[in-house]
Amino acid sequence: MQINDLLNHTSEWLKGTGPNSDIVISSRIRLARNLSKYPFPHWANKSQLDGVLDDIKAAVAKIDMLKSSTLFVLGELDSIDKQFLVERHLMSIEHTQKTEKKALLVDDEEIIAVMINEEDHLRIQLMQSGFNLFEAWSIINRLDDELGKLLDYAYLDDFGYLTACPTNTGTGMRGSVMLHLPALVMSRQIERVLAAVSKLSFTTRGLYGEGTQASGNFFQISNQVSLGHSEDEIIENINGLIRQIIEQEAQARQILLSKNRTILEDRINRSFGILKSARIITSQETIELLSMVRLGSDLGMFKDIDRRTINELFITTQPAHLQKIENKKLSSDERDLKRAELIRKKLNLI
């Protein structure tokens, strides 16, 4: 698989399928692992980082679950390619920095992604569409077991898996769920919800994870600490919290429909109208308007617009994707023009 092949593939997190997919965009499990014979990446020299990469590549070649996967060496990619992979939620923004001796392994379905030599030697990610944490855990647990047979993980009985960041020590697990919560935002309940999330020792991030702010009414909620908790406990805790938020968002949507239907329909249809006719549009405005159109689609206001089409526009209108589609670098103004053109073509075909 070449990196450009991903342009014609729908990312797992955008498929719009799975349980509660009207509110939950995706479920992700990430495991942090380190190899016992090497220092953590920030302390390792180039020779040691080479050793990590070689050991992991040798292990990957023996695992059936990873037969249909591709290894991208980040030092061989340009800035647009790296941003493209971030936009597809296959790696972190941090992984694009100081890329020497770093790599990314991606399976053909974009369900599994493994960052090599990021903050830890291995950051193994499993993504599922919709509210599907238990299935995600089942798959990534099998993969982790297979890798653990071939790689000697850094592990202590008293602490569990050793990681560069102390908050990941223990299971090394971060479970996260990406939610679309426009009704809670519109009804001004979101601050109360997020405050409760924080008190329960969970963290809230934006569309692209750590260091990003919420936009387009998207919120990514994950556990903060893994030490002292089993994997099943972490998933059960996240699951319980997310179910409550799903219920609150669903109730908020019904209240908006019953008490403010005309205002809601006007806002959704205005958003759709702008997207179908705009000649220039920024990335931020696109996300905000698509969020409203997605809400309208989920509420049955649009018969001809499916969730998957809207979801795909969230990603194909991002800066690196536009430049990959055009096969050249574009200025900010040029991207705003191309973004509007792409949206018009897509929506006016519906």
38-74 tens-digit pLDDT: 999 999 999 999 999 999 999 999 999 999 999 999 9
Mapping DSSP to helix (H, G, I), strand (E, B) and coil, where does residue 26 land?
strand
Rounded to an integer, what distance in angstroms lies between the CA atom of residue 14 and that of residue 310? Answer: 9
- Token representation of residue 149: 């047979």
What is the rounded average pLDDT of the residues 203-216? Answer: 65
Flag the least confident range among 7-11, 99-103, 174-178, 346-350: 346-350
Mapping DSSP to helix (H, G, I), strand (E, B) and coil, where does residue 119 land?
coil
Residue 208, pLDDT > 80, answer no
Please tell me the CATH code under which domain 3-253 is placed: 3.30.590.10
- The β-bridge relationship of strands 122-129 and 24-33 is antiparallel
Nearest to 183 by CA among 219, 129, 133, 130: 219
Q: Which residue would you say has higher pLDDT here, 201 or 247? A: 247
Rounded to an integer, what distance in angstroms lies between the CA atom of residue 154 and that of residue 164? Answer: 11
The rounded percent of the chain whose pLDDT value lies above 70 is 97
- Which residues are 98's β-sheet partners? none
Q: DSSP assignment of 316-346, as one string?
A: HTSHHHHHHHHTS---HHHHHHHHHHHHHHH
Domain ranges of the chain: 3-253, 261-348
The whole-number pLDDT of residue 211 equals 46
Q: How confident is the model at residue 37 (pLDDT cuts 50, 70, 90)?
A: very high
Nearest to 66 by CA among 75, 74, 56, 76: 56
Mean of the per-residue pLDDT values of the chain: 92
The whole-number pLDDT of residue 191 equals 92
Number of continuous H segments (helices) and E segments (strands) in the chain = 11, 10
- Token representation of residue 183: 């009704």
Q: What does pTM read for this prediction?
A: 0.92
CB atoms within 10 A of CB 207: 20
Q: Which residue would you say has higher pLDDT here, 212 or 336? A: 336
